[in-house]
């Protein structure tokens, strides 16, 4: 069996693979042209889908991202794709907690006052997050992790799933997708965590943005295609919304002419919410476990399901 490591590894990781799987041949390369050799039975990393599709020998691709929409061209091939589903959730939860507190505590305004050398102690600027409502549009791994980190602070947290399920103790209410408007009307912070599928694309459209509470903040850490960005920019410019924290966009990198860059009430981050400097460790461990399963003929963890979209 041949395994191509299409990514940089940490110290000792290549040696560990060769030690634990002596019957497997490993190569490491980030050169797209090396894929054309069609040498690998298995690839670990995120090679371009267009370079992978012509390969005849490849049987399994372990990617290091949770989303796999970039690999839609492979959905009708014999290649099994497994993802990093769940690995990023705890760090995304930390990121969203930071952006929620940024807006709740009035940091955009206070930073502008600092730049202007103004000592502004008006107590009406910061809010108590414990008195606000956080609406989670999606209650999968990320939504659950965020509910856990919010619990000690004490805001009212409501969630939404596409299918009916019992309300867990971490939530005040768990709604189904048909109650999305109700969630938007109640929430001071709307956090979008749903996967991008044919059913969810454009879900937060102009009409639904109008249903959000005046002064509410939208946080998107899922996919840009879930939100009508033009309508969002309009609602922000009109002052109807209190702000937005956007980590993902329909087209990335975000165009330099995008209005979001210069809006004082918008936080732009470069699709980095789920990352940290040691992320390579848990993604490597996911690959090692799946490689053991693949070699033993056992079911792989976290297969990409193109029919569901996650």
The set of catalytic residues is 223, 252, 271
Cβ atoms of 154 and 130 closer than 8 Å: yes
Tokens linked to 44:
């670990």
What's 255's DSSP letter?
A: P
Contacts 24+ apart (CB under 8 A), 278-284: 279/87, 279/88, 279/91, 280/8, 280/9, 280/10, 281/10, 282/84, 282/87, 283/64, 283/84, 283/87, 284/9, 284/10, 284/13
Q: Which residues of 257-279 are buried (b: 16+ CB within 10 A; e: fewer)?
A: ebebeebebbbebebebbeeeee
Give the closest residue to 160 by CA, choosing from 148, 172, 149. Answer: 172
Q: Would you mind telling me the total number of residues written for the chain in this entry?
A: 310
Cβ atoms of 95 and 247 closer than 8 Å: yes
Cβ atoms of 268 and 261 closer than 8 Å: yes
Q: Which helix (H) or strand (E) holds 291?
A: helix 280-296
């Amino acid at each position: 069996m041949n395994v191509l490591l299409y990514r940089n590894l940490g110290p000792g990781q290549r040696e560990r693979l060769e030690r634990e799987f002596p019957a497997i041949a490993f190569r490491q390369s980030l050169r797209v042209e090396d894929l054309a050799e069609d040498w690998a039975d298995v690839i670990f990393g995120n090679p371009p889908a267009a370079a992978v599709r012509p390969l005849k020998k490849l049987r399994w691709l372990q990617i290091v991202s949770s989303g796999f929409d970039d690999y839609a061209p492979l959905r009708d091939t014999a290649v099994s794709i497994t993802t990093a589903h769940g690995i990023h959730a705890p760090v995304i939860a930390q990121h969203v907690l930071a952006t929620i507190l940024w807006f709740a505590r009035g940091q955009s305004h206070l930073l502008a006052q600092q730049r202007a050398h103004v000592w502004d102690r008006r107590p009406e600027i910061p809010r108590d997050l414990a008195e606000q409502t956080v609406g989670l549009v999606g209650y999968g791994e990320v939504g659950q992790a965020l509910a856990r980190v919010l619990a000690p602070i004490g805001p009212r947290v409501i969630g939404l799933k596409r299918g009916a399920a019992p309300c867990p103790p971490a939530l005040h209410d768990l709604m189904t997708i048909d109650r999305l408007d109700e969630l938007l009307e109640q929430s001071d912070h709307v956090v979008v965590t749903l996967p991008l599928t044919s059913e969810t694309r454009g879900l937060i459209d102009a009409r639904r943005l109008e249903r959000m509470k005046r002064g509410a903040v939208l946080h998107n850490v899922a996919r840009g295609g879930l939100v009508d960005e033009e309508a969002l920019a309009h609602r922000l410019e009109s002052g109807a919304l209190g702000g937005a924290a956007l980590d993902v966009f329909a087209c990335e990198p975000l165009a330099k002419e995008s209005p979001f860059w210069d809006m004082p009430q918008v936080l732009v981050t470069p699709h980095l919410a789920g990352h940290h400097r040691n992320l390579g460790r848990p993604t490597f461990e996911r690959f090692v476990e799946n490689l053991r399963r693949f070699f033993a003929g056992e079911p792989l963890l976290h297969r990409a399901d193109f029919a569901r979209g996650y």
